[in-house]
Amino acid sequence: MKALLVKYKSVIRFIVTFLIVYGVLTIGYNLYLNVSDGSHFYPDYLTHLVAEQTNVLLNGLGYESRIMPHPNEPSMKLIINGKYLARVIEGCNAISVIILFLSFIIAFAGKIKTTVLYGLAGSIIIYAFNLIRIVILSIGLYHYPWRREILHSVIFPLIIYGTVFLLWMVWVNRFSKKLNQNE
């Protein structure tokens, strides 16, 4: 057993670090959600911000878009040209995806400066891709409402998780190899 632990020490360290970081960030995020009272930004600041930014982008693309608090659930209603299309919920703000991304990057950490900068840049890229994803999804739902299930459940998760996967591959192949060569 000891031989296996020694042999797979780096794998075990990666898994344990990943789980600890993921757990700490998830607990922190859940604490944030529980503290957020929704009085200034409904349902919470980050979800509200994503809804606002989606609205700005849609209006910038020539759609008459608006958002409003959903009366029956903690979400923002997204309305295009007077048609209620979708709701922006807490899961739409990409924070849980960013937590997953950061957990991997930290578990595979390189030099501190590189890890922090890549984690920040990757988080911004994921956030931006998420906004683009929501905008395209909204436009798709407006023009092709009968494609709702495939758009929401297949294509757009593929975009966001594909982005995360590519960022992970760049991290592992570009930055962590250099770190390993320097050790």
pLDDT tens per residue across span 40-74: 778 889 999 999 999 999 999 999 999 999 888 88
The pLDDT of 15-19, averaged and rounded, is 95
Q: What are phi and psi of 36, to 5 degrees?
A: -65, 115
The pLDDT of 63-90, averaged and rounded, is 92
pTM here? 0.88
Q: What distance in Å separates the CA atoms of residue 77 and residue 88, rounded to the nearest whole number?
A: 6
Number of residues that this document lists for the chain: 183
Q: What distance in Å separates the CA atoms of residue 51 and residue 171, rounded to the nearest whole number?
A: 30
Kindly give the pairing relationship between strand 76-80 and strand 65-69: antiparallel
DSSP annotation of 147 reads G
Give the pLDDT confidence score for residue 5 in this predicted structure. 77
DSSP annotation of 69 reads E
Place of tokens 């770190």: 179
